[in-house]
């Protein structure tokens, strides 16, 4: 970074950051009230929206103007209008509705964890009695329920990579470790009719996974494996093992251990598919903020997790005994995909 590119700070920015939680509360409240839904049919006044959502007119007026102040509405001569992109992202009937992601990202679980950031910074990891690695943590039920289309891009990318490879195999048995909503396995199963998916997760989460399997028409090819991914016998061996958005909960050493365990469940000549947030060698917090912000979530929710780099993912796969690791990304995928072979 050159001298002229050094970041600066001003009071407006500091006010904005200090009260960032108010923006979170505004978005969360508006979505809970389904406030944006009636605006899909056209502009409305504060009084109309208050009547529609059954709230106090004064509360609604102040809420609407604040939503306009942060760009989530357009105030137009006493009426309120959806902003560009609003019909797609803010209206609950849209296939790209972002409400699920907000329900999770703006949840009490995540916010309460951030209140103890200073403890996590002091200790280098969570000191909370319950966190992401607590067995049957109810946060993961919300995750499995609410996770929205933002996994679709990476799930589609994985399917595109694996379907041509699976074509010539005698069987297509898949283990999806820490499967949650099951999107990765189910997207693949919808494209590969011979695929049989075994989903491993905590039992309370797998009840939700099964409902997703039914909704997506693959329940007859879905098996469940409830338990702890570090201890439960994995069964198999499988043609493909999926491990998506899991390794960032752990240090490089612990994640490599989990990959070694996963490797024991992959048939010789089979494959592992791993997905995660990553940093690239040329990334900095200035050029690519998201993975660095994600590490804060891991800091407060785990003992040793953080965003790992592309090179670290390759190293972990190699150290766990896999060969030919390749990395894949696409415009639509929020996460990076790694595929490697078991010799």
Ligand X SMILES: C[S@@+](CC[C@H](N)C(=O)[O-])C[C@H]1O[C@@H](n2cnc3c(N)ncnc32)[C@H](O)[C@@H]1O
The token pair at 235 is 């069964």
Give the nearest distance from C-beta 154 to ligand X in angstroms: 8
The CB-of-50 to ligand X minimum distance in angstroms stands at 38
Task: Report the residue number, 29 or 146, with the smaller CB distance to ligand X.
Answer: 146
- Shortest reach from residue 120's CB to ligand X, in Å: 18
Nearer to ligand X, 32 or 228 (CB): 228
Report the nearest approach of ligand X to the CB of residue 169 (Å).
23
Tell me, by CB under 6 A, how many residues bind ligand X: 18
CA-closest candidate to residue 30, choices 84, 80, 78, 95:
80
For ligand X, which is the closer residue by CB, 26 or 154? 154
What is the footprint of ligand X within residues 58-117 (CB under 6 A)?
Answer: none
Phi-psi region of 333 (alpha: psi -120 to 50; beta: other; left: phi over 0): beta
CB of 161 to ligand X, least distance (A): 16
Q: Smallest Cα–Cα separation from 107: which of 147, 73, 68? A: 147
Q: How far is the CB of 244 from ligand X (least distance, A)?
A: 3
Nearest approach, Cβ of 292 to ligand X (angstroms)? Answer: 18
Integer-rounded Cα Rg, in Å, for the chain is 22
Tell me how far CA of residue 173 lies from CA of 162, 265, 295, in angstroms: 12, 11, 33
Asked if 203 interacts with ligand X (CB under 6 A), we say no
Minimum Å gap between C-beta 177 and ligand X is: 7
Contact track, ligand X, 2-31, x by CB under 6 A? ------------------------------
3-state SS record for 322-343: CEEEEEECCCCCCCEEEEEECC
Contacts with ligand X, 161-190, as mask; x by CB under 6 A: -----------------xxx----------
Nearer to ligand X (CB atom), residue 64 or residue 155: 155
Q: Which of residues 223-252 bind ligand X (CB under 6 A)?
A: 228-230, 244-246
- Residue placing its CB nearer to ligand X in the complex, 335 or 342: 335
Residue 176's nearest CA partner among 217, 134, 137, 144 is 144
Helix 310-319 with 252-263: angle, nearest 10 deg: 50
> Which residues sit opposite 172 in a β-bridge?
195
Sign of the torsion formed by the C-alpha atoms of 314, 316, 318 and 324: negative
Binding residues for ligand X restricted to 143-162, rule: CB under 6 A: 143-144, 151
Map 47-68 to HEC letters.
HHHHHHHCCCHHHHHHHHHHHH
In the list 36, 98, 109, 202, the residue contacting ligand X (rule: CB under 6 A) is: 202
Short-list 90, 65, 89, 87, CA closest to 75: 65
CA 305/CA 59 separation, integer angstroms: 41
Give contact residues for ligand X (rule: CB under 6 A).
133, 140, 143-144, 151, 178-180, 201-202, 205, 228-230, 244-246, 275
């Amino acid at each position: 970074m050159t001298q002229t590119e050094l970041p600066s700070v001003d009071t407006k920015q500091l006010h904005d950051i200090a009260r960032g939680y108010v923006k979170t509360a505004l978005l969360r409240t508006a979505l809970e009230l389904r406030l944006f839904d009636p605006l899909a049919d056209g502009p409305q006044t504060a009084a109309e929206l208050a009547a529609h959502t059954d709230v106090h007119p004064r509360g609604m007026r102040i809420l609407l103007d604040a939503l306009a102040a942060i760009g989530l509405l357009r105030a137009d001569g006493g009426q309120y209008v959806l902003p560009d992109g609003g019909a797609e992202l803010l209206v609950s009937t849209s296939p790209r509705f972002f409400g699920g992601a907000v329900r999770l990202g703006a949840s009490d679980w995540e916010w309460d964890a951030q209140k103890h950031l200073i403890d996590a910074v002091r200790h280098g990891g969570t000191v909370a009695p319950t966190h992401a690695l607590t067995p049957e943590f109810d946060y993961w039920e919300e995750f499995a329920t609410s996770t929205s289309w933002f996994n679709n891009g990476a799930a589609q990318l994985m399917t595109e990579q694996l379907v041509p490879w699976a074509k010539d195999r005698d069987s297509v048995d898949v283990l999806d470790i820490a499967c949650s909503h099951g999107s990765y396995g189910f997207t693949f199963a919808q494209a590969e009719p011979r695929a049989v998916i075994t989903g491993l997760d905590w039992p309370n989460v797998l009840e939700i996974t099964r409902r997703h399997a039914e909704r997506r028409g693959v329940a007859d090819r879905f098996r469940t494996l409830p338990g702890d991914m570090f201890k439960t016998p994995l069964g198999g061996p499988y043609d493909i093992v999926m491990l998506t958005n899991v390794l960032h909960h752990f240090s490089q050493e612990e994640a490599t251990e989990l990959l070694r365990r996963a490797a024991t469940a992959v048939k010789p000549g089979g494959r592992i598919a791993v997905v995660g947030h990553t940093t690239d060698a040329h990334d900095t917090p200035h050029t690519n903020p998201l993975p660095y912000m994600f590490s804060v979530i891991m800091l407060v929710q785990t003992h040793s997790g953080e965003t790992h780099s592309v090179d670290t993912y390759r190293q972990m796969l190699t150290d766990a005994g896999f060969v030919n690791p390749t990395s894949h990304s696409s415009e639509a995928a929020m996460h990076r995909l790694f595929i490697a072979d078991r010799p």
